[in-house]
Every structure is written in C-alpha cells, then in structure tokens.
Amino acid sequence: MIAAVEGTLISKGTNSVVVKSGLVSFALNVPGSTLTKLGHAGTEVFLHTHLYVREDNISLYGFYSHQELALFEQLITVSGIGPKVALALLTTLSAEQIVSAIISGNADLLSQVPGIGKKTAARIIIDLKSKLEKGWEGEILPDFSQGDNDAVAALTGLGYSIREATQALSGIPQAADMTLEEKVRLALQRLSSR
C-alpha cells in the first residue's frame, strides 16, 4: 500500500496533482483544501495517501494533513459515499466543519454540499457520529442553530462558499435575540474586513 508520496509537484489540475517521486510520477486526486495549500510547480510536497481499489478503478488520493486523510477514509465507509463525494465534502468544508456538523447532527450544512442530499447527510451522521465523538483530534467548531443554518444559506446565496460563511458566522458574538438579518449583516462585515 502507498501511505504517502513525497516529491516535486509537476502540475496541478482542478482536483488533481502530479507529483514526481524519484523515477515515478504519481497522479493523485486531491480535495480543494489540499490543492490550495500546495505551492506552484517545482515545489517539494508531501501528501498522505489512500489507494482506492475496486474491480474497475484504481485511484490514488492525496491529502495535505493526516486528519483529512482519516476523515476521507471514514466518509467512504458510509453506504452511498464514494471517493468523489468525499472529496466534494472536503473541498467545500474543512475537516473540522464536517466533523462538527456530523457530531452536532447538522444535516442542513452537509446537504448544501454538491452531491449530498438530506437522506445522504442523515446517513453520514448516523454512521459516523459515534465514531468521530470517540476518536477525532481536530478542533470542533461551535454547533450551529437553525438560525445559523439559515444565515449560512443566505450567505451562500450571495455567492460566498459554505466554508467562508461558516467561518464568518463562528466569529460573531452569539445572542439569543439576534435576528437572521443581524447575523448576516455581522457576517458580511467580517467577510468584507478580510
């Protein structure tokens, strides 16, 4: 099994990279979170890997952090979640946001990811919640209320990514009487100050 690939970054695609290690060049599928952390062509890189083997498909997946790899491996154990959907989750949300959504039962956040419907989000939560509560070492973000989920939906409707929206909302002070409009306004202020 290939546990990691270390070498020179040859090229980057929209969701893949080619890394030359010695005399061999590896094509790896990577989530957007990993792609943004890698430098330009010619940079030395180290990627944790997962070799996915099926009858008709042998693919190598690369991850910048061990946490992303561990979460990817957990996600593909869920019925109906293949590597492409797991990569879509890790591209749209950070590993910490995914784990937080699973542990808090936030199916609404998970279902905003392309390829994830309400039923699939619920299945992910049911299958992984107890496993992740026992063994996740990453930082857990605060639980989101229904009002926060509505604010995330409003911000994504304005063109922000789910990751940007959840990060902006997690940084604003929470008050029980805060309206949806106030939450969105404060989140927009945080987003514009970056």
Domain 146-192 has CATH 3.90.1150.10: no
What does the DSSP 8-state code read for residue 173? P
Give tens-digit pLDDT for 133-146.
766 554 444 445 55
For the chain, what are the domain ranges? 4-63, 67-135, 146-192
Q: What is the pLDDT of residue 100?
A: 82
Per CATH, the number for 67-135 is: 1.10.150.20
What does the DSSP 8-state code read for residue 17? E
Question: What distance in Å separates the CA atoms of residue 190 and residue 194, rounded to the nearest whole number?
Answer: 7
Query: Which two three-digit tokens encode residue 175?
Result: 């008050």
The pTM assigned to this predicted structure is 0.71
Which CATH architecture fits 4-63?
Answer: Beta Barrel (2.40)
